[in-house]
Each structure stands twice: as structure tokens, then as C-alpha cells.
Amino acid sequence: MATKILLPIDHTDESSWNSALPLAMKQAEFNGAELHVVCVIPDIILLPNLPANYGAGAKDHVRGAVQKILEDNGAAGLNIHIEQGSVYREILKLAYKDSFDMIIMASSKGDFPNYEIGPNLARVVRNAHCSVLVVRG
């Protein structure tokens, strides 16, 4: 039985939450579990022609976008984590560090050999310390 569930979403890709968010909410309610949402901002490669503070404010922008998504889908008030770095690594680090016992993640179209799951989901499934529920779109 899950007591703490992590739902990774991409604020720019509706397919990452469209089916997974309602299912995660039902799963959390059924188990009496805490539901947390994480959105990972990929690292920005700093080039010599970019200002030193390039990307400042990105976490605040993404947090606002995620809050709007949750509000629009009847999930206001969930715990939101905004991380920055490698998508699958940050999901795995957060899940392990904060003792999540389930990750619910939407599938996405991938190239061979991942077909229906993208490379980040494949790595999370392979390396997670806890159960991973894959939601097909």
C-alpha cells in the first residue's frame, strides 16, 4: 500500500498529466496517501554570449504553471517540487530522498527501443527503488 506518491509532470506537455493526474488522485485517495507533483527543468547550457543570470526566475515561472494546471484539474493544494537537472535523475533522487513508495508517470511516444515509453520513463522504471505505475495515454 502506498503512503507517499510522486507524480512527475512536464508543464509544457499535457499528455504528461492528462491521464496520470486523475489516476494519481484516485490512487492517493484510495490508499490515504500523500500526493506530490514534481516538474524538472532541464539544465540550461550556459554559452559565452548568454548573461550570467540567464534562466533566473525559471523555477518561479514553472511553479506558477504547475499550480495553474493543478487548479484547472481539481488538484489545487498538492505539494509541488520544482527541480533542475537531468529529468530522470532528479525524479529518482527526490523519490529516494523523500521516501516515496510509488511513482505514477505517464507514458510518451519514444523511439526504438522504447516505443511507447520515453527514455526518462524507461530509466525511472529500471532504477526506481519503489513501485512505478505507468499510465498509458
Question: What does the alpha-carbon distance between residue 57 and residue 69 come to, in Å, rounded to a whole number?
Answer: 19
Question: What does the alpha-carbon distance between residue 49 and residue 17 come to, in Å, rounded to a whole number?
Answer: 35
Bridge partners (DSSP) listed for residue 132: 103
Return the pLDDT at 118.
80
Other beta carbons within 10 Å of 116 = 12
Residues 131 and 100 sit within 8 Å (Cβ to Cβ): no
The contacts of residue 129 (CB under 8 Å, 6+ apart) are: 92, 95, 96
Question: What does the alpha-carbon distance between residue 16 and residue 82 come to, in Å, rounded to a whole number?
Answer: 15
pLDDT tens digit at each of 137 positions of the chain: 899 999 999 999 999 999 999 999 999 999 999 999 999 998 766 666 767 676 778 889 999 999 999 999 999 999 999 999 999 999 999 999 999 999 999 987 655 555 566 889 999 999 999 999 999 87
Place of cell 540550461: 44
Question: What does the alpha-carbon distance between residue 111 and residue 118 come to, in Å, rounded to a whole number?
Answer: 7
- What CATH superfamily is the domain 4-135? HUPs (3.40.50.620)
Return the pLDDT at 112.
56
4-8 β-sheet, strand order? 79-84, 34-41, 4-8, 102-106, 131-135
Q: What is the pTM of this model?
A: 0.90
Place of cell 532541464: 42
Return the pLDDT at 31.
95
Annotated domain spans of the chain: 4-135
Return the pLDDT at 75.
96
Question: What does the alpha-carbon distance between residue 3 and residue 34 come to, in Å, rounded to a whole number?
Answer: 6
